Amino acid sequence: MNTNPSEATAPAYNRSRQAREAETLLDRIQDDFPDNPQAMRYFYDLFRRVYCQGEPVKHEGTLVGTTCIHAPEELIYAFGATPVRLCNGSYHYDQIGADFMPAKSCPLVKATLGSLHAKAAVPDTKSLELIVNPTTCDQKTKASAMIEAMGYRVHDLELPPAKESEEARLYWQRSVRRLALRLRELTGRKLTRNNLRQAMARTARAQTAFRTLHQLRKSAPALFLGKDAFLVTNAYFFDDLDRWTAAVERLNAELQLRQMEGFQAAQKRAPRILFTGSPPIFPNLKLPLLIEEAGGVVVADETCSANRMLYDMTAVDEWLLNDMVDGLADRYLKPCTCPIFTRNDDRQRRLLQLAADFHVDGVVYQAFAGCQVYEMEYRSIADVLAAQGIPMLYVETDYSPDDMGQLSTRIEAFLESIKTRKRNAR
């Protein structure tokens, strides 16, 4: 789509700002830590090529943007199209997007709008032929019309505000079927049992690879750092699906080898952190990186840029089109722990289970300033964790680098208090 307004920032400047942001972060991720896994090189290179050098990622068929994890990507693949997730983590685009939204809005939504508005954004937004915008939070819902006004074609994927009731489930299943119709119109292809099954096999393989990686992070002392884990899952946003999966499988093989050799990615007593809340999206990996630079290790997460996006898998009973599509719909609604839904018991239970399974010492809760739903769930999550004796650090932040100094002090203090607790417990 080439109809972006011309008043957007000039491409060269744009690329350089974005590239600098990415490069600074990648340097920190690569150089501040010794013994990065060899297999991570693929991901470091990928981000350097795409974000720093502006190299386009090749894609098959029609390019369909998605603005949330609720868009069933198997459907998009089944129509021979390629999904790319548009949720953006760049401060540069956050500033551009600020023109569209009220002052106190979510930086993720602003950055997404900014990147769509800008001319030469990374990842590539020029060739988008459709944007699937699930009606999740208010800000994303309202962004829809703004994106359309920029000249993109938008499909509002209607998501119910509750997920418990059977009515909500059926409403969502219908909504997903309507998306399939829209995609058929767009691509001129037909959805068949075979092409959907092939698409599902591809994502299932990717999810399996993710789950293996996820399980490997249970090992104590830590085998793998969270900053790399977030980079891996962030690559899933735009990378070629099969290439991504193969790279993760290589990474898993290497980590398994390291596990046998008794390798330690962090100190034995490094506080093990569970990360929750607003999603770290490249290049805004500020918080996880600060945690690990301060000597902690992020062993698990409950965010929509990693675990929530890739963990849950689809079950099918009868491999007929109706059961497969409904199965997909269920997978994208039922297990989701997004705070936009009426209740958050599932999120509480998920956090407690992750904390237990991954021997977590503390939880870091990131809330983007302006992301009301995460801000609103802060209390309930804090109470549940406190009841279990799990310390939590609540951090309200955004994409700007201004609060880095202040944050690193708070994180250091938090990690120090965890270490003291552990020492006293012994």
Partner 1 sequence: MKKIRDAINGVDLRRFRFLLQLFFFVLLVYGGYFAVNLGQSLPTFACGFNDAGRGGICYLLPLQHQLAMSWGTLFGWAGLMVLQGFLFFALWFFILNKGWCGYICPLGTIQDWITSLRTRLGVRYSRYTEGQFRRLSLIKYLLLALMILIPLGIGGALLPHDMGTPFCDICPGRMIIPMFTGDFSQLTIDFSTKTTMVMTALGMLVTGLFLAGAFFKKRFFCFFCPMSALHYLLSKPALLKLKKDGAKCTRCGDCYRVCDMEIREIADEVKEPRIMQDDCIMCLKCVAHCPEQGALKATFAGIPIFESTEQGFIKRMTKGHHDEHKPQ
Q: Which of 334, 410, 419, 421 binds partner 1 (CB under 8 A)?
A: 334
Per-residue binding string, partner 1, 293-322, x by CB under 8 A, is ------------------xxxxxxxxxxxx
- Name residue, tokens 């700007």: 400
Contact characters 111-150, partner 1, x per CB under 8 A: ----------------------------------------
Count other Cβ atoms within 10 Å, centred on residue 357.
15
Residue 359 binds partner 1 (CB under 8 A): no
In sequence order, which residues have a C-beta less than 8 Å from that of residue 41 and are 6 or more positions away? none
182 binds partner 1 (CB under 8 A): no
Q: Does 1 bind partner 1 (CB under 8 A)?
A: no
Task: Round to whole Å and give the CA distance between 106 and 118.
Answer: 18
For partner 1, the binding residue among 85, 117, 258, 331 (CB under 8 A) is 331
201-240 mask for partner 1 (x: CB under 8 A)? x--x---x--x---x-------------------------
Return the residue of 326, 375, 377, 398 that touches partner 1, per CB under 8 A. 326
Stated as kind and residue range, the H or E segment containing 152 is none
- Given a contact cutoff of 8 angstroms between Cβ atoms, the answer to whether 64 and 46 are in contact is no
Please, what is the minimum distance in Å from the beta carbon of residue 179 to partner 1? 19
Cα 53 to Cα 48: distance, rounded to the nearest angstrom: 6
Q: In whole angstroms, what is the distance from residue 60 CA to residue 407 CA?
A: 42
For residue 423, with 0-12 CB atoms within 10 Å meaning exposed, 13-18 middle and 19 or more buried, which class applies?
Answer: exposed
Range in contact with partner 1 (rule: CB under 8 A) among 17-25, 324-332, 362-370, 388-396: 324-332
- Do you find a cis peptide bond into 391, omega within 30 degrees of 0? no
Tell whether residue 197 is a contact of partner 1 (CB under 8 A).
yes
Sheet order of strands, 272-277 included: 297-302, 272-277, 362-368, 392-397
> Among residues 96, 127, 85, which one has the least CA distance to residue 21?
96
Written as six digits, the tokens of 322 are: 């109706």
Judged by CB under 8 A, does residue 181 bind partner 1?
no
Whole-angstrom Cα distance, residue 107 to residue 91? 8
Is 200 one of the binding residues for partner 1 (CB under 8 A)? yes
User: What is the amino acid identity at position 111?
Assistant: A
Work out whether 177 is an interface residue with partner 1 (CB under 8 A).
no
Q: Using CB under 8 A, which residues numbered 152 to 171 contact partner 1?
A: 164, 166, 169
Give the interface segment with partner 1, choosing from 235-243, 330-338, 366-374, 382-390 (CB under 8 A): 330-338
Instruction: Count Cα atoms within 13 angstroms, Cβ side, for 121.
Output: 31
**Per rule CB under 8 A, is residue 83 in the interface with partner 1?**
no
Q: Which stretch binds partner 1 (CB under 8 A): 18-26, 258-266, 274-282, 346-354?
A: 346-354
Among 353, 388, 406, 420, binds partner 1 (CB under 8 A): 353
Instruction: Please state the closest distance from residue 85 (CB atom) to partner 1, in A.
Output: 21
- 120 phi, psi to nearest 5 deg: -120, 65
Cα distances (angstroms) measured from residue 198 to each of 202, 316, 340: 6, 13, 32
CA distance 309 to 302: 9
Strand pairing partners for 302? 276
Whole-number minimum distance, CB 356 to partner 1, in Å? 8
Local structure of 90: helix, strand or coil: coil
Other beta carbons within 10 Å of 278: 28
* Residue 335 touching partner 1 (CB under 8 A): yes
Least CB distance from residue 420 to partner 1, whole Å?
29
Which of the stretches 17-25, 273-281, 331-339, 358-366 binds partner 1 when contact is defined by CB under 8 A? 331-339
- Identity of the residue, 7 or 317, whose beta carbon is nearer to partner 1 in the bound complex: 317
If the CB atoms of residues 359 and 422 are measured against partner 1, the closer one turns out to be 359
Shortest distance (Å) from residue 318 CB to partner 1: 5
d(CA 184, CA 192) in angstroms, rounded, equals: 11
Q: Minimum distance from CB of 139 to partner 1 (Å)?
A: 26
User: Count of CB atoms within 10 A of residue 6's CB?
Assistant: 6
**Of 157, 138, 124, 392, which Cα lies nearest the Cα of 276?**
392
Smallest distance from partner 1 to CB 321, Å:
8
Q: Return the residue of 330, 375, 377, 398 that touches partner 1, per CB under 8 A.
A: 330
267 binds partner 1 (CB under 8 A): no
Q: Which residues contact partner 1 by CB under 8 A? A: 164, 166, 169, 193, 197-198, 200-201, 204, 208, 211, 215, 311-323, 326-327, 330-331, 334-335, 345-346, 349-350, 352-353, 356
